[in-house]
Amino acid sequence: MKHHFADLLDREDDYWTIVPNIERYAYLADEIIDDKNDAHIVTVNKHNSNWKQIFNLPKLVELTLHEPSKEQVESIKELKNLKRLRISHYRANNIEFIRKLVNIEELVLEYVSGFSDLSPLGNLTKLKSLHLENLRRVSNFEGLSGILSLRYLHLDGTLDWSQPIENLEFLKGLQNLEVFALGFVKVQQEYPAFMPILELQNLKRIKIGLGTLDTKEYAFIQVAKPNVKCGAHGKHTPWSPISDWGEDEYIPLGKGKRSFSKYHKDAKAKCIQIESDFEKFKEQAKEILKK
């Protein structure tokens, strides 16, 4: 599936200042840039014949590489003043080129495949916001552990492919994380997979879709972090065992749960049972946390 160009970045607070996806082409460096002192934001792709002018832009702080060439990607390690970087649709054996970009504060990798080792990101000691989307060869995110500057993390797949996550142990090394968001993902760790969030003392928000996790994981998160705002993307109210968005159906919370009509003869009984089961999951979580 090709990229949708929707802006999935959280524009609340100061986590993201990089231009929205849909605006990337407004900064395309296809023509010669006359006022080089005024160029702060640039987009480059493999078809741009004048792309090397980016090395003559003294105030360049934001770069998007959209379907770039290998030469373009490998050369950006010279741009040590970059603060914001987006790379889309690129196949790389590794991401070693990123180690020298020590001033990066915001990083987006979308549809960057071919590599599996995220450890080069550990060299980005100023990185505050990270969005990783559709990284086909990545399933182990331990390479992120230890990035103490990181405050915002979003891991995502696509409608047709769920990003695998072996486990969430890497969260223990992200002590200053404030926002943790999951899109189309498949957490492979057994319940309670979210035990590591107990280590995150600065966590403010968790954003996870209503059908991403097993129901008891949602209950565990609510019990483990009662003061953290939890919800689906764009909704920061606590998850409800049953969601009613004004349609004709109720949507139970949890992976594999099927919606049902509000007007079904057993709708009320189903709602009561779902809410009762969710309370049991919360009690189970409390017992686990006591141990």
- Enumerate the β-bridge partners of residue 181: 154, 207
- Look at residue 256 and tell me if it is in a domain: no
Residue ranges in the chain modelled with pLDDT below 70: 1-6, 234-237
Question: What domain range is 173 assigned to?
Answer: 21-203
Q: What is the pLDDT of residues 148-199, one digit of tens each?
A: 999 999 999 998 899 999 999 999 999 999 999 999 999 999 999 999 999 9
Report the alpha-carbon distance of residue 220 to residue 283 in Å, rounded.
9
How many distinct structural domains can be found in the chain?
1
Q: How high is the pLDDT of residue 237?
A: 63
| pTM of the shown model | 0.95
Q: How high is the pLDDT of residue 233?
A: 74
Could you give the 3-state DSSP secondary structure of residue 154? strand
CATH number at residue 111: 3.80.10.10
- Look at residue 228 and tell me if it is in a domain: no
User: Helix 215-224 and helix 267-290: axis angle, to 10°?
Assistant: 50
Report the alpha-carbon distance of residue 142 to residue 221 in Å, rounded.
21
- Look at residue 223 and tell me if it is in a domain: no
- Look at residue 8 and tell me if it is in a domain: no
Q: Is 225 exposed, middle or buried (0-12, 13-18, 19+ CB in 10 A)?
A: middle
Per-residue tokens: 129 = 């916001």
DSSP classification of residue 59: T
- Look at residue 284 and tell me if it is in a domain: no
Q: How high is the pLDDT of residue 235?
A: 53
Report the alpha-carbon distance of residue 223 to residue 216 in Å, rounded.
11
